[in-house]
């Protein structure tokens, strides 16, 4: 059904590196990019943009298709301002299987199709608000309905009394007394020096690694560089905290001392300088609070999601959820390679007597995946138009005088509701006698048989709302 000569833009996610491929002008064909040869299948969503100042009324429809065997969503635009009658163009809205970047940048599309500039800009001026509200919400969310009562609730964790101290579920890696949670990479006892409440690198003895291994993890580490300071540049209070023994958060004494940016304390070594230099003087205890999300690979070993690291140094964010290029390496960038899903915390011996204390970690759980019950189509029932209209009206959410109403309208075979001070109307579909379900929220309106009240069920609570007229 699509006019393939008008297929305009393709947006692909190759997994390990985002690649965006565009084709413009006549002759372009999404099939070049793995689009299934079957015609796109219309979805049941159509946007009609109101005519303004007598201009054309663009029409936007969404369609399901597959590309490289992945479900995608295409938008078809027709009747756009300045666009030839009977012609339409297509663009990719997003992968329904992912939630990233649902709406492609139009810049290159416009640049390669200058004759379409006015058509597209005219249409988008009219449609941008409606499109972003309608489609971004469809393609971006997790799949869980808002406020879903079926969504697993977080585990209760008792926090510590003071910042920096371990919460109840933390794995204590060093409590000031013993190095028995660490070993050498070969499995031997660490040779590092145990002091009063701390331990210290024994230069030349090699790194130590935690016996516990971690994937996604929150890690707290305290460290202090030698006092008085010795050396300069990278040869000054150098150590490091390696996550999954691959990704180094640099430990260095660069307090009032020069070195390169991506080798300073708090750097993701060789990749990202810290966002601020918050180093303390030699000998003073410093803190790292690290959040790490491990890289993900598919079963074939291909990277599907790079590692991410956040670092808070002495209470200041110095790494903000940075995307990691690959394992830490010196003088070059090494690519990712699939390995075990967890690895030890490694502390580096760089020949300097750096001290450590108060080390603890919390393995971080994954997000609960949405299931088939949650995403099953809503079992909609049919309601006579007159009955549907009887629910329309204004309702009071509270008893305050002059408070704006909840407005309910009948539209086609469903209801639309606009809450006070909200721009967007929400769709409710009938699922029973007088019962209407929100489409993207785990919530219901249940009208009383006399139509005078409605019960608003949401998040395990019920609010009773009265009709005004
Ligand atoms: Mg280092």
Q: Assess contact for 21 and 58: CB atoms under 8 A.
A: no
Instruction: Indicate whether 34 and 121 sit together in one domain.
Output: yes
Same domain, 359 and 393: no
- Do 412 and 356 lie in one domain? The reply is no
Rounded to the nearest angstrom, the distance between the alpha carbon of 240 and the centre of ligand 1 is 4
Q: Does residue 350 sit in the same domain as residue 389?
A: no
Confidence of residue 403 (pLDDT cuts 50, 70, 90): confident
Interatomic CA distance for residues 414 and 425, integer angstroms = 12
Query: Within a domain: residue 216?
Result: yes
CATH number of the domain to which 200 belongs: 2.60.120.560
196 lies in some domain = yes
144 in any annotated domain: no
> Can you tell me whether residue 7 is helix, strand or coil?
strand
Q: How far is the CA of 309 from the centre of ligand 1 (A)?
A: 16
Statement: residue 406 has pLDDT above 50: yes
Sign of the four-CA dihedral 97, 439, 80, 110: negative
What is the DSSP-derived secondary structure letter of residue 384? Answer: -
Each residue of 122-133: pLDDT tens digit?
A: 565 555 544 444
Q: Strands, DSSP E only, in 114-268?
A: 171-174, 182-183, 193-194, 199-200, 208-214, 217-224, 239-243, 247-251
Count of structural domains, the chain: 3
What is the whole-number distance in angstroms between the Cα of residue 241 and the centre of ligand 1?
A: 8
Distances (CA, A) of 408 to 133, 197, 301, 392, 405: 19, 66, 52, 5, 9
What does pTM read for this prediction?
0.69
Give residue 274 CA to ligand 1 midpoint distance, Å.
14
Predicted pLDDT at 401: 80
213 compared with 21, residue with greater pLDDT? 213
pLDDT > 90: percent of the chain: 65
**CATH assignment of the domain containing 449:** 2.40.128
Of the listed ranges 3-7, 76-80, 443-447, the one predicted with least confidence: 3-7
Expressed in angstroms and rounded, the spacing between residue 234 Cα and the centre of ligand 1 is 8
- Indicate whether 148 belongs to any domain: no
Q: Facing residues of 309 across strands?
A: 292, 322
Is residue 356 located within the same domain as residue 386? no
Residue 202 covered by a domain: yes
Judge whether 24 lies within some domain: yes
Question: Do residues 207 and 351 share a domain?
Answer: yes
DSSP string, 396-449: ESSS-TTPPPEEEEEETTEEEEE-TT-SS-EEEEEEETTEEEESSBSEEEEE-T
CA of 177 to the centre of ligand 1 (A): 25
Q: Give the Å distance between the CA of 251 and the centre of ligand 1.
A: 6
- Average the pLDDT over 255-284 and give the result: 98
* DSSP string for residues in 253-304: --TT----GGGSTT-BTTTB--SS--PPPTTS-EEEEEEEE--EE-TTS-EE
Residue 24 has a pLDDT of 32
pLDDT at 402: 84
**Is residue 45 over pLDDT 70?**
no
- How close is the Cα of 294 to the center of ligand 1, in Å? 20
Percent of the chain with pLDDT over 70: 70
* Mean pLDDT computed over 113-129: 54
pLDDT of residue 399: 82
- Whether pLDDT at 272 is above 50: yes
For the ranges 79-83, 112-116, 281-285, the one whose mean pLDDT is highest: 281-285
Question: Is the same domain home to 122 and 199?
Answer: no
Tell me: do 457 and 344 sit in the same domain: no
Whether residue 384 sits in one domain with residue 359: no
285 located within any domain: yes
- Ligand 1 centre to CA of 363 (Å) is 24
Q: Ligand 1 (ion): which residues have CB within 5 A?
A: 238, 240, 250, 348
What's the mean pLDDT in 58-71?
63
Contact 263, 234 (CB under 8 A): yes
Rounded to the nearest angstrom, the distance between the alpha carbon of 239 and the centre of ligand 1 is: 4
Q: Comparing 228 with 19, which gets the higher pLDDT?
A: 228
How confident is the model at residue 12, as a pLDDT? 33
Rounded to the nearest 5°, which phi and psi values hold at 139? -95, -15
Of 312, 332, 363, which residue constitutes the final position of a domain?
A: 363
Of 297, 369, 388, nearest to 335 (Cα)? 297
Are the beta carbons of 181 and 211 closer than 8 angstroms? yes
Has residue 145 been placed in a domain? no
Q: How many whole angstroms from 166 Cα to the centroid of ligand 1?
A: 25
Rounded to the nearest angstrom, the distance between the alpha carbon of 196 and the centre of ligand 1 is 24
Do 231 and 348 fall within a single domain? yes
Domain that holds residue 74: 8-136
Indicate whether 223 and 256 sit together in one domain.
yes
């Amino acid at each position: 059904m699509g006019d393939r000569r008008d297929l305009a833009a393709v947006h692909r996610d190759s997994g390990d590196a985002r690649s965006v491929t565009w084709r413009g002008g006549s002759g372009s064909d999404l099939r070049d990019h793995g689009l299934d040869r079957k015609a796109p299948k219309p979805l049941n969503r159509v946007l009609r943009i109101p005519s303004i100042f007598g201009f054309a009324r663009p029409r936007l429809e969404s369609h399901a298709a597959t590309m490289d065997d992945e479900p995608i969503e295409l938008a078809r635009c027709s009747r756009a301002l300045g666009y030839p009658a009977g012609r339409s163009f297509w663009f990719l809205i997003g992968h329904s299987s992912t939630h990233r970047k649902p709406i492609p940048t139009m810049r290159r599309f416009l640049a390669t199709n200058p004759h379409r500039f006015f058509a597209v800009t005219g249409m988008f001026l009219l449609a941008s608000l409606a499109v972003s509200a309608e489609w971004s919400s469809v393609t971006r969310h997790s799949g869980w309905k808002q406020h879903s009562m079926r969504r697993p609730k977080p585990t209760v964790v008792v926090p510590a009394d003071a910042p920096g101290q371990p919460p109840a579920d933390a794995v204590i890696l060093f409590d000031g007394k013993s190095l028995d949670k660490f070993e050498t990479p070969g499995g031997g006892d660490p040779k590092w020096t145990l002091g009063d409440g701390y331990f210290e690198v024994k230069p030349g003895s090699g790194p130590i690694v935690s016996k516990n291994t971690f994937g996604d993890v929150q890690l707290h580490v305290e460290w202090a560089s030698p006092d008085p300071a010795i050396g300069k540049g990278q040869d000054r209070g150098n150590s490091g905290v390696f996550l999954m023994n691959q990704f180094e958060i640099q430990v260095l004494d660069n307090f009032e001392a020069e070195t390169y940016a991506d080798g300073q304390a708090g750097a993701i070594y060789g990749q990202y300088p810290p966002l601020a230099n918050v180093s303390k003087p030699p000998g003073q205890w410093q803190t790292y609070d690290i959040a790490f999300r491990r890289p993900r690979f598919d079963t074939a070993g291909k990277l599907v999601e790079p590692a991410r690291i956040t670092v808070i140094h002495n209470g200041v964010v110095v790494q903000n959820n940075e995307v990691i290029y690959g394992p830490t390496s010196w003088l070059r960038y090494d690519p990712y390679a699939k390995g075990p899903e967890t690895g030890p915390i490694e502390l580096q011996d760089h020949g300097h007597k750096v001290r450590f204390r108060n080390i603890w970690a919390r393995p971080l759980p994954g997000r609960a995946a949405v299931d088939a019950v949650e995403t099953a189509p809503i079992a909609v029932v049919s309601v006579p138009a007159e009955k549907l209209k009887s629910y329309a009206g204004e309702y009071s959410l509270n008893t305050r005088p002059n408070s704006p109403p909840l407005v309910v309208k009948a539209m086609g075979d469903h209801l639309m509701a606009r809450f006070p001070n909200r721009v967007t109307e929400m769709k409710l579909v009938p699922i029973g006698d007088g019962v209407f379900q929100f489409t993207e929220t785990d919530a219901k309106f249940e009208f009383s048989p006399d139509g005078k009240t409605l019960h608003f069920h949401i998040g395990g609570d019920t609010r009773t709302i009265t009709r005004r007229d």
